[in-house]
A and B are shown apart, each in its own frame.
Chain A
Amino acid sequence: MSTQTPAIEVTDLVRRYGRTDAVNGLSLRVQPGRCYGFFGRNGAGKTTTIKCLLDLLRPTSGSVKVFGLDPARHEVEVKTRLSYVPDQVGFYPWMTVRDTLEYAASFRSHWNRDTERGLLDQFRLPLGHKTNHLSKGQRTQLALIAAICPEPDLLVLDEPTSGLDPIVRREFIQTVIGAYQDGAPGTRTVFVSTHLISEFEGLIDDFTIIDNGTEVLTLDADTARARYQKIYVRLPSVPHGLAIEGARLLHQRGRELQFVVNGNADDVRTRLAVHSPETIETESLTLEEIFVATLTPAGAAA
């Protein structure tokens, strides 16, 4: 692992609302230049964690560091180096697109006008329109422009593409790759929480799956796909109460069975061979399938 200061470092984070533990002992670390996926079901604690990173909420206990700094004590240093795109974007409704960008730029020490012009052209945003007349897709595009033009070291995205049409979602992701990442390859970090895992699949270097406020799985995406595999077999007959050590039965329909394995596909294939399968096929799980397999109790999907 790198010895650089992590872009984000969360250690034993706890955040309580009344008696509810929204985040309960979460730890994760995001290296600079990486694109980090933060996956969890609704209510898993994703937004609460992100709000702690942005100093919109204070941790109950544990620590949160951004660029090695405490966002509560070094608010300005941290905020000048990051941008945030939330799920619901709020703008002043009486401002035009042009005014909104000028207003956003006025808080920033740096603003790339070329990037702004390029993205405004690409998205064909009407500069003179008031923001309350924009569609949800246009509002997200405007928020993305405002987030990228300061060329921050860290881009925090919280469910950025939910509720958008597929074309806008694609453009959004392409903009993150192109206009944002390409500007300073190797140092621009993305932290994205999303349910649309398959859309972001190619972008994700590393990820954490969070459930009930704690980390369930952290891996880099290539390792995850190599480790989690689906084995499909058709047996001449299925012995009563068949159980294969090291494999989880995902589905069974008659003589066809589908198992999920974690890093031991070869062993499991050898164990299955004893039952003289008529066919045996292996494929990797996508990140979304890994998410579902990780958070579905054993047997529930069978």
Chain B
Amino acid sequence: MLFELNYKSAKPVYLQVVDQVRAAVASGAARAGDMLPSIRPLAEELRVNRNTIAKAYTELESQGVIQTLAGKGCFITGQASPLRKDARLKLVTEDIDDAVIAAHHLQVDKAEFVRLAADRFEAFAKRRARALQD
């Protein structure tokens, strides 16, 4: 799994790391049981503060995306989110709202939006399936 940081993004650096791990899991680039690099070598490689990577890993752990095994490292859990369904739906709704607002200002109507969302679901499913074959 490769990381790329963008300092021209308004997104905090630790969140960029969090989102890239989440994206890697969603697209099949990282699978349950895969080990993440340890904090020090990743921090050195990306030339970021080690605290930034530590904060990203803590966040991923609290979301249940990764798990730290003492003395072994951090692993992708592949587990279902521990949150209740209504909480999970609420979190996704917040992000959809942002997308709906963007769609409104870019004159993308509901039908197009829904079709696009379905396409993207398919795209990620295909990438995961392809990753499994490799």
**A residues engaging B (CB < 8 A)?**
33, 35, 170, 173-174, 177-178, 181-182, 185-186, 198-199, 201-205, 221-222, 225-226, 229, 283-287
Contact = CB atoms under 8 A, between A and B. Distances in A.
- Interface range on chain B (Cβ under 8 Å from partner): 20 to 34
Interface of B: 5, 7-14, 39-41, 43-44, 46-52, 54
Given A33-B51, A182-B40, A185-B54, A202 B8 contact: no
Contacts of A174: 44, 47
A130 to B, nearest CB: 31
A203 B48 contact: yes
B46 to A, nearest CB: 6
Nearest to B5: A202
A178 B50 CA distance: 8
A207 B5 CA distance: 20
B49 A181 contact: yes
Given A181-B43, A181-B49, 12 more contacts: A33-B51, A177-B40, A177-B49, A178-B41, A182-B43, A185-B54, A201-B7, A202-B47, A205-B49, A222-B13, A284-B9, A286-B7
Given A182-B40, A185-B54, A222 B48 contact: no
Dominant secondary structure of chain B at its interface with chain A: helix
- Interchain residue pairs A-B with the least CB separation, the first 10: A202-B48, A222-B12, A226-B10, A174-B44, A283-B8, A286-B7, A182-B40, A284-B10, A178-B44, A202-B47
Contacts of A284: 7-10
Contacts, number: 69
Interface centre among A177, A203, A287 (most CB of B within 10 A): A177
B52 A202 contact: yes
A276 B122 CA distance: 35
A285 B40 CA distance: 27
Nearest to A287: B7
A173 to B, nearest CB: 5
Contact of B47 (A173, A185, A286, A287): A173
Contacts of B44: 174, 177-178
A229 B8 CA distance: 9
Contacts of B41: 178
Contacts of B11: 226
15 contacts: A170-B47, A174-B44, A178-B43, A181-B49, A181-B50, A182-B50, A203-B48, A203-B49, A221-B13, A229-B10, A283-B9, A284-B8, A284-B10, A285-B8, A286-B8
B12 A226 contact: yes
Contacts of B8: 283-286
B54 to A, nearest CB: 7
A118 to B, nearest CB: 12
A173 B50 CA distance: 12
Interface centre among B5, B14, B49 (most CB of A within 10 A): B49
A232 to B, nearest CB: 12
B16 to A, nearest CB: 10
Contacts of B54: 185
Nearest to A283: B8
